Amino acid sequence: MKIYDKLYINGAWVAPHGTGTMDALCASTEEVATRIPEGIAADANDAVAAARAAFESWSKTPVASRVEFLEKIAAGMEARKQDVALAIATEVGMPLKMAGAIQASLPIGAARTYAELLKTYQFEETVGTSLVVREAIGVVAAITPWNFPINQIMLKVAPALAAGCTVVLKPSEVAPSTAFILAEVLHEAGLPKGVFNLVTGYGPVIGEVLASHPDVDMVSFTGSTRAGRRVAELAAQTIKRVALELGGKSPHVILEDADLEKAVKAGVNECYLNSGQACIAPARMLAPKSKYEQVVQLAKKVAESFSVGDPINGDVKLGPVISAVQRDRIRGYIRKGVEEGARLVTGGPETPEGLDKGFYVKPTVFADVNNEMTIAREEIFGPVLTIIPFEDEADAVRIANDTIYGLGGNVWAGTKEHGIEVAKQIRTGQISVNGGRYNPLAPFGGYKQSGLGREAGKFGLEEFLEVKSLQL
């Protein structure tokens, strides 16, 4: 068991004001993996005070110095890559090889991306007779989730530091280790005291203090739509900027002229990534009625090829989900799907054979689903795919858009041009055409109840900047 007994505030590891602790479990063994401090309001207030005191000096730091720090952060995270991958496999449940390739690599890339962007970014421009200046917004509260913990942290911390902001981070208490690894890296990089602060604790305590604090200028939150509403409500009292990256129920649209085998395989693989614990998981597969049963059988075959087991020592494609609460919630949705009349093609609510210990869920596929069913409307956050038939392309677009969410999506078509034509009609923040890969320079964020603002690339940097006009 790894024990962290201090918080990182004002450039030092300090004892918390309270005496409580919180335990994060190993997802595959159900044993305590990590113990961290249960911070209280006084800890959050100390962190905000440190960030506020450091802001004036840090915001005036030359761009070249901020670039140098970001490069040091990238190098430090590269050196700790194996530690990060093991922490993810242990606490989150993603298989170790995959955790190294994805979860431990993305934050390194993000730090490097912002170092490069910063070298050429124009903080000033002339518009008519005015000089338009972009300045750091101030103290940023970053509240992050457990499913891609260090990636979501770095997508906030790196651009905030690049912009000249100071940061107070509250990571998820369910998967906290990577936040402590980052704090260690930042300390070793010699980041000035108060520029980055780490406070762990429960959302209703630490999160609420940060979202409502009058000395916090911006709150950047990634998590559930329900919690996002609360963050926005609290932040509104002091009219601070709010960036929200929330839930999703993304469509995976397979058109008549698509390569069915490629399209289905890609859809199942993406839906089950990280055991389905991804906000952009394409959990609704939309298939033309003329080829519906073919799609269902292909999805069944792919789903049943997923090996389930130990994410640390096993050579598997699917590990456990993060907690008993999540496992039971997902199994409840599977039972609900059966109750509402969906056809269970493979999987189910039972414990996978031989895996009585750990938070495992069978990779599950439902067919004969309509878009009014609970499993088609609500974010399940597990390895559960629903396959919905459509009549024609207009019907496919209608179904794809018939959701409160708008975070991600995919379109598969016979040609890229055809895919783009349909993708433009789907109201979502990002959409992949024929398997287009994730682009770290492209904006990431949602429409509708999937959030406000954008992360990644220059769009993510500009979230942390205020715009000032100097009339000359």
Residue 65 contacts by C-beta under 8 Å, 6 or more apart in sequence?
none
Q: Considering the candidates 38, 173, 245, 455, report the single residue annotated as catalytic.
A: 245
Residue 215 contacts by C-beta under 8 Å, 6 or more apart in sequence?
48, 49, 52, 139
The candidate with the shortest Cα–Cα distance to 106, out of 460, 383, 439, 409, is 439
Strand 410-412 and strand 130-136: the pairing is unpaired
Euclidean distance between CA atoms 240 and 126, whole angstroms: 27
245 is catalytic: yes
Q: At what angle do helices 63-79 and 149-163 cross, to 10 degrees?
A: 160
The candidate with the shortest Cα–Cα distance to 73, out of 193, 187, 200, 172, is 187
The residues that bridge with 72 in the sheet, in sequence order, are none
Q: Considering the candidates 279, 379, 455, 463, report the single residue annotated as catalytic.
A: 279
Percent helix, strand and coil across the chain, each rounded to 5?
A: 40, 20, 40
Radius of gyration in angstroms for the set of CA atoms belonging to the chain, rounded to a whole number: 22
26 is catalytic: no
From residue 330, how far is each of 370, 404, 427 by CA, in Å?
19, 20, 27
Euclidean distance between CA atoms 343 and 116, whole angstroms: 50
CB count in 10 Å sphere of residue 101: 13
- Annotated catalytic residues are 245, 279
